[in-house]
Structure 1
Amino acid sequence: MLWAMRRVQQNEVRSIERLFRDQATSLDLGNQMLLVAVNEHPMVRLWVALPDYDLLEAYYGFDRCKRSDMPVAPYLIAGCSRLFGSVFHAL
């Protein structure tokens, strides 16, 4: 799984979420994609998990990162809640 991150203004989150949902609906048959966030008022830090590097091109300004660079407790914006739980809430 490929992870990428970008800091955005709160008002930009909605358009990125729409892009993600459109892409996931048509390309994520295995429910592997996630869009997660952490609020950093007034900014929001977003991470996207993608199964294929080619999908990253659609996410302008996102930089690849490691899973280990992510916060312990982001919140799920879109994607498979079961996968989110296993990635971020596994004991």
Structure 2
Amino acid sequence: MDKAIPELTLNDGTTIPAIGFGTYALNGNEGVHAINSAIDIGYRLIDTAYNYENEGTVGEAIRRSSVPREQLYITSKLPGRYHEYDKAVTAIQES
């Protein structure tokens, strides 16, 4: 699957995969295995969210992956209740 995923170019020239692997409801060892399988077949963008409550699982999958961290893009989402500046900073640091 590697290179079968098209890329998008951002305004600063950075390229990112146009398609990522969503991690909603992936938790624990089964979640780690699923995420690692996605990375093994070529996904390089992994999407999670604060509200999924699985960022630890995503982090563990990345740690166990044979793909260097520098080759992976991890995206997350900040819930609306944390959009106030101080709350956003805290939530992002926790994420």
Normalising by structure 1, what TM-score? Answer: 0.30
Higher relative contact order (CA 8 A, sep 6+): 1
Give the structure with the higher percent helix.
2
Bigger Rg, structure 1 or 2: 2
Give the structure with the higher percent strand.
1
Normalising by structure 2, what TM-score? Answer: 0.30
